[in-house]
Amino acid sequence: MRVAESMNLLITNGRLLDPSQRIDARLDLLIENGVITGTGKKLKSSAPVLDAGGLTVVPGLIDLHTHLREPGQEHKETIATGTRAAVAGGYTAVCAMANTMPPNDERAVTEMIIAESARNGVCRVYPIGAVSKGLKGEELAELAELRAAGCVAVSDDGMPVANAQLMRRALEYCSMLRIPVIAHEEDRNLREGGVMHEGYWSTVLGMSGIPAASEETLVARDVILAGMTGAHLHVAHLSTKGAVESVRAARRAGVHVTAEATPHHIALGDDALQSFATNLKMNPPLRPDAHRQAVIEGLADGTIDVIATDHAPHHFDEKNVEFDLAPFGVIGLETAFSVCHDRLVRRHIIDLSRLIELMSCAPARIFGLPGGTLRAGSPGDVTLIDPTVRFQVTNTFHSKASNSPFIGQTLQGRVVATVVGGAVRHDLRAPVPLPSPKPPRKRKR
Partner 1 sequence: MRQTTSSLKSKDLLGIEPLTPEEITLILDTAEGFKEVSERPVKKVPALRGQLVINLFMEASTRTRVSFEIAEKRLSADTLNFAASGSSVEKGETLIDTAENLMAMHPDMIVIRHKHPGAPKMLADRLPASIINAGDGAHEHPTQALLDAFTIRERLGRLHGVNVSIVGDIAHSRVVRSNIHLLTRMKANVTVAGPPTLIPAEIERLGVRVAHSLDEAIDGADVIMMLRIQLERQGKLTFPSLREYYNTFGLTPARLRRAKEGILVMHPGPMNRGVEIASDVADGPWSVILDQVTNGVAVRMAVLYLLGGAHAE
Q: Which residues are catalytic?
A: 310
Nearer to partner 1, 2 or 292 (CB): 292
Tell me how far, at minimum, the Cβ of 60 lies from partner 1, in Å: 40
Among 101, 118, 276, 410, binds partner 1 (CB under 8 A): 276
For residue 83, give the 3-state DSSP assignment. helix
Q: Which is nearer to partner 1, 3 or 290 (CB)?
A: 290
Torsion angle in degrees (nearest 10) through CA of 10, 14, 15, 18: -30
93 phi/psi in degrees, rounded to 5: -155, 145
Site for partner 1 contains 254 (CB under 8 A): no
CB of 325 vs partner 1, minimal distance in Å: 7
DSSP symbols for 11-75: EES-EEEETTTTEEEE-EEEEETTEEEEEETT---SS-EEE-TT-EEEEPEEEEEE---TTT-TT
- Tell me the C-alpha distance between 382 and 11, whole Å: 9
From 196-204, 249-257, 262-270, 382-390, give the range in contact with partner 1 by CB under 8 A: 196-204
SS3 392: strand
Sequence-ordered strand ranges (E) for 350-434: 382-392, 410-420, 423-427
Find the part of the chain contacting partner 1 (CB under 8 A) among 111-119, 317-325, 402-410, 437-445.
Answer: 317-325
Of 200, 347, 390, 394, the residue at the interface with partner 1 (CB under 8 A) is: 200
Which span (194-202, 263-271, 296-304, 398-406) binds partner 1, by CB under 8 A?
A: 194-202
CB nearer to partner 1: pick between 176 and 204? 204
391 binds partner 1 (CB under 8 A): no
Binding letters toward partner 1, positions 322-351, x by CB under 8 A: xxxx--------------------------
Among 59, 129, 160, 199, which residue sits at the site for partner 1 (rule: CB under 8 A)?
Answer: 199
Beta bridge partners of 307: 261
* Residue 198 touches partner 1, criterion: CB under 8 A: yes
> How far is the first Cα of the chain from the last one, in angstroms, to the nearest whole number?
28
Binding-site member from 3, 176, 204, 253 for partner 1 (CB under 8 A): 204
Cα(370)–Cα(260) distance, rounded to whole angstroms? Answer: 19
CA–CA separation, 323 and 48 (whole Å): 50
Interface ranges with partner 1 (CB under 8 A): 198-200, 202-207, 209, 211, 276, 317, 320-325
